Structure 1
Amino acid sequence: MTTTDTTPDEARTDPPDQARTVLIASLIGTTIEWYDFFLFATAASLVFPALFFPAGNETVGTLLSFATFAVGFVARPIGGILFGHLGDRVGRRATLVATMALAGAATALIGVLPSYASIGIWAPILLVVLRVLGGIALGGEWAGAVLMAVEYAPPGRRGLWGSSPQIGLGLGLALGTGAFALLGAAMDNQDFLAWGWRLAFLVSIVLVAIGLVVRLRVFETPAFRRLQEGAEISRVPVLDVVRDAASRRNLGLGLLARWAEGAAFNTWGVFVLTYAVTTVKMPKTEVLVAVTVAALVSAAVVPVAGRLADRFGRRAVFAGGCVVFGLTVYPAFLGLGTGSLPIVVAVLVLLLGLVYGVQSGAEATLFAELFPTRTRYTGMSLVFQGSGIYASGLTPLILTSLLAAAGGSPWLACGFLALTAVISTVATLMLRPVDEL
């Protein structure tokens, strides 16, 4: 069943040029925020185990680094609740300015953080603190960026416009991995580990300044302004989400529906870096280039998926992506195991670029439509960020552990990923967006 885009709370009140400004601001902002976030993900795979944790067992160092990566996903629901509350009560625009400033500060400080050899145990402690701050910022960022686009979207194009912030995810990943690939190619490994990687984090200061200038030019969304005019602002949005039966049902199902998407991205965009370098023994730069290419393909596929979601329905497109993900995980690991760069690039373009791009392009509007306007920021933040703990943050840890338990064989890891696809597909088809009620 195709969703309708003609609900009263989405009526247009602003001129088209403002809508386009909002669309651009949403894309630029999320690109910068995801760049910051994926810098940490890439560094957690390639740099942090050697610099911020005690020397010793390589697997233990990698697990500790991925645990730090996972901490950010635990912090994201906190940011979702905090900034969701502000976004549903104060407005989308002001909240997005705050999240970008916080994320930029945390990323820049990681770029100057001393190593374990310099300050001992304080290195991983401070790394975790900065990771938590970045996680809180991104926890509030995603839903607000999506709503700025969705709540300005013209009739019949909400899926396409809602996909625009998701393009920033692919671009941010490409910039993050691309920056590391460029730095790794421009200097030897010793210089890269000593100081080169820090440059990518420090560049975030400039990018965030640009993003803030753009975001300060946009107005509040028409939907939220109508809430203010009608004095319909929720006093405690998170409680209203839990109290409302329809919202509560969609929250529970939404948490399960996103599992496969989160697992897919963090398998092909994060875990694959460690797997290809340490297990398959591929050169680091080659793997980074492969991920960068796939991320750019994903950014191109996302708006196509958004348009398909307008035509065939968000649930159908998103569920279709989950099904294909589950069917292709084992062949993908076989391809990665060859260590052949053309094959690895093809695998990642297919799985991260095409399949994940379809999931990502449909999900933003799907989750936005699960909740009424007055609790939409909080509700979709809880879905996306709450599921991020197990669907995203724990995935590299789980896959690393399953590979170790299976003696390097991918069977257990593939079984786990296929299971997430089944769960997500069933949950997605059970969702009932409020626009369909």
Structure 2
Amino acid sequence: MSTSQATKSESTTLRRAILSSFAGTSIEWYDFFLFGSAAALVFPRVFFPESDPATGLLFSFMTYGVAFVMRPFGGIIFGQLGDVLGRKNTLIATLLIMGVGTVLIGCVPGYDTLGIWSAVILVLLRIVQGLGLGGEWGGAATLSAEHADGAGRAANRGLLASWMQLGVPAGNLLAVAALYIMETVLSPDSFIAWGWRIPFMASAVLIVLGFWIRAALAESPLFLATEKEKSPLRTMLRTHWRQVLITIGIRIASDVSYYVFAVFALSYISNVLGLPASVGLIGVIVGCSLQFLVIPISAQISDSVGRRPVYIFGAAAVGIWAFVAWPLIATGQVALAIAAISIGIAAQGIMYGPMTAFITEMFGTKVRATGAGFGYQVAGILGGALAPTIAQLLTQWSHSTVTVSIYVAITAAIAIISSLLARETSGKDLS
């Protein structure tokens, strides 16, 4: 094969890897965010109708948080499989696990039919979702970054790897849009009775599409050329424990800020302010749309000036905006609430852009899927799993949203400190 043919082949492989990571991540996060939105708007009435509204919402958010607890286990299981058996096959497995769990959630009868067992089944299926998603990020992030190096594009690794991150707002956008359409075209009673189930069951179509894309994907060239570890988790904890702690630190603010705006704000706007649920959903839709610009731009800038300064700027932006956004939301004015949510989500995208490259570059090839996935998902417990519940408890305790702003700002400060403790990794040779 000539040099030009080899270069063309590497470029084609890279495009397929990026498309696979984007498509698969979009589908899995569609499934995940669909549950989060439904937890804020639907599940208290369907699965916890015997509780008062505030308690029912707390129970609903707890079922939502169960998946975050399981995500590190998914990261460990599928991360090790990815570091031993290969990135590609584990990504196919996580896609199928996540999708089947989501379709079955749409089939679970409500409290009126099964009583408390409906909530038990819901929690079990949420555990399945958590395991699937826990294994997704580390594998997809590793595959994207390593294929960028394999194609000789290490200088653009931040931008190329960020396409995977675009799958998150794409998935959220699909999930929120699906619920918004059903909530708009159906009567409130029909939406609660059966309309919310349709977006969950529609995940079956996306599973088939994602499987078709990933089945044709090539394995990572760096993985194929690297000697494998018998126990990547043990090696990772012995040699990369500092990188794991830094990953957790930089991730918490990203998760907290996102889920406070994309999940908790939906329930606050609807249940406390009495505004239509569509107001919060529109804010999330606009914010996720803005991320399609913010994420690649911040990632590309990180290729030029470094990961750390971009990430620090994003964390500072989120921390400052929290003190502006919640007073705007508390006014109860539709336009201000939409602006507050959308800008908050867009600001989080500044951190999310360079994150894939930043985290994967911290770990060696032998433990990259395990280390990146484990650190990322542990942060999910401390951040996203608890964020809606903590925000709900803070507002109930203080009767004010100021405490929510302080909560977000504290996590932003942790991210800034963690970024300063990290080594700059832009341009690092992953091999």
TM-score, normalised to structure 2, is: 0.95
Partner Cα distance (2:401, 2:11) in 1: 50
- Give the deviation of 1:384 after TM superposition: 0.7
Distance of aligned partners of 1:391 and 1:12 in 2 relative to their CA distance in 1, 3 Å threshold: farther
Partner Cα distance (1:252, 1:14) in 2: 38
- 2:263 corresponds to which of 266, 270, 280: 270
Matches within 5 A, 1:92-171: 92-153=87-148, 154-171=153-170
Deviation track 1:313-360 (CA, whole Å, cap 9, x = no partner) reads: 11111111001111110110011112222222222222102x111111
Partner Cα distance (2:371, 2:8) in 1: 25
Partner Cα distance (2:39, 2:348) in 1: 22
Does residue 287 in structure 1 map to residue 286 in structure 2?
no
- 2:375 corresponds to which of 356, 371, 383: 383
- Structure 2 SS opposite 1:157: helix
Partner Cα distance (2:25, 2:274) in 1: 33
Task: In structure 1, list runs of 5 or more residues that go unmatched.
Answer: 1-10
Where does residue 205 of structure 1 map in the other structure?
A: 204
- Structure 2 SS opposite 1:151: helix
Deviation track 1:14-49 (CA, whole Å, cap 9, x = no partner) reads: 521121111111111111110000000000000111
Does residue 422 in structure 1 map to residue 421 in structure 2?
no
Task: Give the letter for the 2:365 counterpart.
Answer: T
Tell me if the contact between 2:68 and 2:384 (Cα under 8 Å) persists in the aligned partners. yes
Tell me if the contact between 2:280 and 2:341 (Cα under 8 Å) persists in the aligned partners. no
Partner Cα distance (1:202, 1:395) in 2: 27
Where does residue 248 of structure 2 map in the other structure?
A: 255
Partner Cα distance (2:424, 2:243) in 1: 8
Where does residue 305 of structure 1 map in the other structure?
A: 298
Q: Which moved more, 1:170-179 or 1:278-287?
A: 278-287
Task: Give the letter for the 1:34 counterpart.
Answer: W
Partner Cα distance (1:259, 1:406) in 2: 23
Deviation track 1:189-243 (CA, whole Å, cap 9, x = no partner) reads: 000000000000000000110010001011101111111xxxx101111111111
- 1:235 corresponds to which of 223, 230, 236: 230
Partner Cα distance (2:28, 2:292) in 1: 15
Tell me if the contact between 1:330 and 1:410 (Cα under 8 Å) persists in the aligned partners. no
- Structure 2 SS opposite 1:156: helix
Partner Cα distance (1:294, 1:111) in 2: 26
Tell me if the contact between 2:326 and 2:402 (Cα under 8 Å) persists in the aligned partners. no
Where does residue 72 of structure 1 map in the other structure?
A: 67
Deviation track 1:156-192 (CA, whole Å, cap 9, x = no partner) reads: 1100011111101001111101111111110110000
Task: Give the letter for the 1:82 counterpart.
Answer: I
Tell me if the contact between 1:14 and 1:222 (Cα under 8 Å) persists in the aligned partners. no
- Structure 1 SS opposite 2:147: coil
- Give the deviation of 1:54 after TM superposition: 4.2
Deviation track 1:354-412 (CA, whole Å, cap 9, x = no partner) reads: x11111111111110111011000001111100100111000000000000002x1122
Deviation track 1:253-298 (CA, whole Å, cap 9, x = no partner) reads: 2211211111011111111111111112211112212211211111
Where does residue 50 of structure 1 map in the other structure?
A: 45
- Structure 1 SS opposite 2:196: helix
- Structure 2 SS opposite 1:213: helix
Does residue 360 in structure 1 map to residue 352 in structure 2?
yes
Task: Give the letter for the 2:22 counterpart.
Answer: L
Tell me if the contact between 1:76 and 1:386 (Cα under 8 Å) persists in the aligned partners. yes
Tell me if the contact between 2:285 and 2:342 (Cα under 8 Å) persists in the aligned partners. no
Task: Give the letter for the 2:372 counterpart.
Answer: M
Does residue 33 in structure 1 map to residue 28 in structure 2?
yes
Where does residue 196 of structure 1 map in the other structure?
A: 195
Task: Give the letter for the 2:373 counterpart.
Answer: S
Task: Give the letter for the 1:209 counterpart.
Answer: V
- Runs of 4 or more above 6 Å deviation: none
Does residue 402 in structure 1 map to residue 402 in structure 2?
no
Q: How many residues align?
A: 419
Where does residue 308 of structure 2 map in the other structure?
A: 315
Partner Cα distance (1:274, 1:109) in 2: 24
Partner Cα distance (1:167, 1:97) in 2: 19
Partner Cα distance (1:283, 1:192) in 2: 14
When the two chains are superposed, the root-mean-square deviation of aligned CA atoms in Å is: 1.6
Partner Cα distance (2:294, 2:80) in 1: 32
Distance of aligned partners of 1:13 and 1:314 in 2 relative to their CA distance in 1, 3 Å threshold: farther
Task: In structure 2, list runs of 5 or more residues that go unmatched.
Answer: 1-5
Tell me if the contact between 2:154 and 2:429 (Cα under 8 Å) persists in the aligned partners. no
Task: Give the letter for the 1:417 counterpart.
Answer: V
- Structure 1 SS opposite 2:219: coil
Distance of aligned partners of 1:49 and 1:12 in 2 relative to their CA distance in 1, 3 Å threshold: farther
Where does residue 216 of structure 1 map in the other structure?
A: 215
Partner Cα distance (2:111, 2:376) in 1: 33
